[in-house]
Chains A and B, each alone.
Chain A
């Protein structure tokens, strides 16, 4: 494995490669940001609009201009939302998506870890069967079914929770559940497998032989080791939570980045699209690096 310094140094190269690739790929798609249902008032008006966004320059000039701006940290103006820059839009929406992701992460851990632990301790019993049924359902039911179901029951039927929007803490419960339940089920399965593996290992026998109470054995000698597979899963899970929130954000009308994943392509908002791609490729790279470092620190076997 390469040193983390080397991986950090690779990030600018990654940014350049992603920016270049997405810049030219997007231009190859038919239709552009200025194709509108209503034609411009005149050719002069259309030309002025294109000149404002440097659309009248040769492609290589636009490309170097874009790269230069990216180096300065300026992702350019949005081509669709004409009163906003890409930095502005990301600045407004990223914190929302991160908050939603963090809450769904909380759901995944808060439900998944206890459920997995319980299932492993009661292996073969009814609790284990119930847990495995629950996790099966959690993994199988897609978000676009689970979300409307939760809205129908908890929002419209019982009237306990708001059906959409992003504001008070109540509004966050349904989206966090909808997004988090799938991951909770995955975490529960990892945790159960991990626990069963560890329970069989000699060091647990030794701890029991030492005369420790069963609770102490579980808490001190089983759970920490069983957590390793779960932690190694958190990296990809965080990535999925952050990029997979499109459906949930759309369903609950949450002002996060999700809307831009799809819409900025359909509206040919090139700068916004590239801004999203750049931002998320850097973020995911950093997250992966972080989860690798965490694992190496947790588990000495990986270090050697």
Chain B
């Protein structure tokens, strides 16, 4: 009611303003251009009316800034973080993330059993689990959703998360056409049993990830690929979708059929889409946004200063920046040269002077602490040994060393300055000349995949809290390898780790593999572990905690009433 009144007043006022303009144009227009002026005036008034009609109603209970417009919010298709946040407001997995630490806790399944060998998981679906349209959700629908996710025709980039499920890899790779052979079955209406290829200590976290979300079978069968545009959209998460305006916002309402609806206090939330960090900050400072959920839309130059404020929260994030070497091209085809370069990089100079958010310098590819794992130190800073290695490789004091290019993607001051720093460190310690090659994003990706570079900036963000999410990038046949490095021993070590039941022994094998990767062969060398940052005034927003996974589930998020 109030909203409508405000709208009407706005319309009156605006129309009034335009009438003045109309009058003025009409007055000076006089005879000759009278009709033109009238037409112009009428057009302006029409515009005003149209605009007043678009007015938003009152402010939502919670307003979040989510970063760039999602490419899709289909949980099986999406890959972006902004996309994933919307999907996790609307849908839920058999497990969900604990908001305090990002580990798995009961979601659509109330509990589960794990067999002693860690290969069989039996999930018990809540009998009260329903879609927001009121239809019940059954175990058969969960299995059907997973079979759809692994079907290559679905084109789910994250289908690789199902490699740990029996026959998942074979189906995704197109070697097995019969999706019913995926290791997942509905025992009865409320019980799902999953058979794994290997004991997978992070499987409960995977079950909470987007690609494992059950999706509404009836809507999908009716609308195919575009089921997400169904109206109303059947949702299983804490919220349901009211509206979606591109580059503006998602408007969500509390889902009354959510099994844990009692915990959800916000009636309506707005999730804004936009990619200008200064604008996001302005909105937050003005109090029009309660939460900025992504570091990428907090102005980078202000990061270190903002991190000091009580309403900005800094945390160690499961991501890593590193350098890839092209092992198929001279001079980096020689491991000694790669190690020499890795040894000449004083990583603390980059974190102290450039990134300045308290990032941890690291020569590994796995951030410290992923799932409790400690990565090897990798090649340590040692310019003297670096020079000796380079001489052994045939380039004493850098003589005869070709000019090499360091490639990075443009768009961040940090990547550019890091390039300059690397350039100066290599000249100083090894006497070699580096040229910088900034590339626009898609060109950068294409050049990296085509191995058309000398050495190149890289980074990775973990999909689950375990070193495997970083280490499997560098398997010989991985599409994410992008270094040309193929090492049978590395592949075997990761296989052995996957088969290992004992967690400590498993970490031991992974550490051996990572040592091979970052200390001996060095097709890749780490720079630093990422730091995350989000903005939320603790006096206004509750139920959100910093955690390494940067998972902030919507069910617990709430507005604190003054």
Contact = CB atoms under 8 A, between A and B. Distances in A.
Interface in A212-227: 219-220, 223-225, 227
A253 interface: yes
Interface string B64-86: 00000101111001010000000
Contact of B55 (A109, A164, A167, A256): A167
Interface of A: 29-32, 35-49, 52, 80-84, 89, 92-93, 95, 99, 102-103, 106, 109-110, 113-114, 117, 148, 151, 155-156, 159, 162-170, 172, 219-220, 223-225, 227, 231, 250-253, 255-256, 259, 263, 266-268, 294, 298
B194 interface: no
B417 interface: no
A84 B273 CA distance: 16
A256 B274 CA distance: 11
A266 B442 contact: yes
A259 B248 CA distance: 11
B378 to A, nearest CB: 23
Contacts of A29: 443
B447 A30 contact: yes
Contacts of B110: none
Contacts of B13: 169
Given A102-B43, A266-B442, 11 more contacts: A41-B160, A81-B69, A83-B73, A83-B226, A92-B246, A106-B44, A110-B24, A163-B283, A163-B288, A266-B440, A266-B441
A82 B71 contact: yes
Contacts of B73: 83
Contacts of B229: 83
Contacts of B228: 83
B23 to A, nearest CB: 11
Contacts of B153: 48
A291 to B, nearest CB: 11
A263 B440 CA distance: 12
Most buried by B among A32, A47, A259: A259
B445 A37 contact: yes
A103 B282 CA distance: 23
Contacts of A41: 156-160, 172
Contacts of B172: 41-42, 44-45
A45 B54 CA distance: 41
A213 to B, nearest CB: 14
- Max chain A C-beta neighbours (<10 A), residue from B7, B40, B74: B40
B276 A250 contact: yes
Contacts, number: 207
Contact of B286 (A82, A92, A163): A163
B372 interface: no
B interface secondary structure, majority: helix
B504 interface: no
B288 A165 contact: yes
A102 to B, nearest CB: 4
A49 B155 contact: yes
B18 interface: yes
B285 interface: yes
9 contacts: A43-B174, A45-B152, A102-B44, A167-B54, A224-B30, A231-B36, A253-B247, A259-B275, A294-B36
A164 B273 CA distance: 12
B115 interface: no
Given A31-B446, A81-B71, A255-B248, A39 B480 contact: yes
Given A37-B445, A44-B173, A219-B27, A81 B32 contact: no
B246 A110 contact: no
Contacts of A103: 47, 51
B5 interface: no
B247 A99 contact: no
A255 B246 contact: yes
A99 B14 contact: no
B31 interface: yes
Contact of B159 (A45, A163, A294): A45
A31 B448 CA distance: 10
Nearest to A117: B28
A47 B174 CA distance: 11
Contacts of B54: 99, 166-167
A209 to B, nearest CB: 20
B101 interface: no
Contacts of A110: 21, 24
Contacts of A164: 274, 279, 282-283, 288
A106 B442 contact: no
Please classify the interface of chain A as helix (H, G, I), strand (E, B), loop, or mixed, using the class held by over half of its residues: helix
B33 A224 contact: yes
A294 B51 CA distance: 26
B501 interface: no
A36 B79 contact: yes
B245 interface: yes
A44 B79 contact: no
Nearest to B34: A224
Contacts of B157: 36, 38-41, 45
B459 to A, nearest CB: 8
B10 interface: yes
Interface in B187-241: 225-226, 228-229
By CB atoms of chain A within 10 A, which of B31, B152, B278, B449 has the most? Answer: B152
Contacts of B29: 223-224, 227
A267 B25 contact: no
A169 B282 contact: no
A2 B265 CA distance: 66
A99 B52 CA distance: 11
B272 interface: yes
Contact of A165 (B32, B272, B278, B446): B272
Contacts of A81: 69, 71-72, 246
A146 B40 CA distance: 27
B492 interface: no
B479 A40 contact: yes
A81 B74 CA distance: 11
B449 to A, nearest CB: 7
- Specify which of A36, A83, A168, A294 lies most central, judged by the most chain B CB atoms within 10 Å of its CB: A83
Contact of B278 (A43, A46, A148): A148
Interface in B248-306: 248, 272, 274-276, 278-279, 282-283, 285-286, 288
B286 A156 contact: yes
A92 B245 contact: yes
A231 B40 CA distance: 12
B276 A253 contact: yes
A166 B27 CA distance: 32
B282 A42 contact: no
A267 B40 CA distance: 38
Contacts of A84: 246
Contacts of A256: 247
Contact of B28 (A52, A113, A168): A113
Which of B72, B160, B226, B442 has the most C-beta atoms of chain A within 10 angstroms of its own C-beta?
B442
Given A44-B174, A81-B246, A219-B28, A163 B50 contact: no
Interface in B125-168: 152-160
Nearest to B153: A48
A27 to B, nearest CB: 13
Contacts of A166: 54, 248
Contacts of A113: 24-25, 28
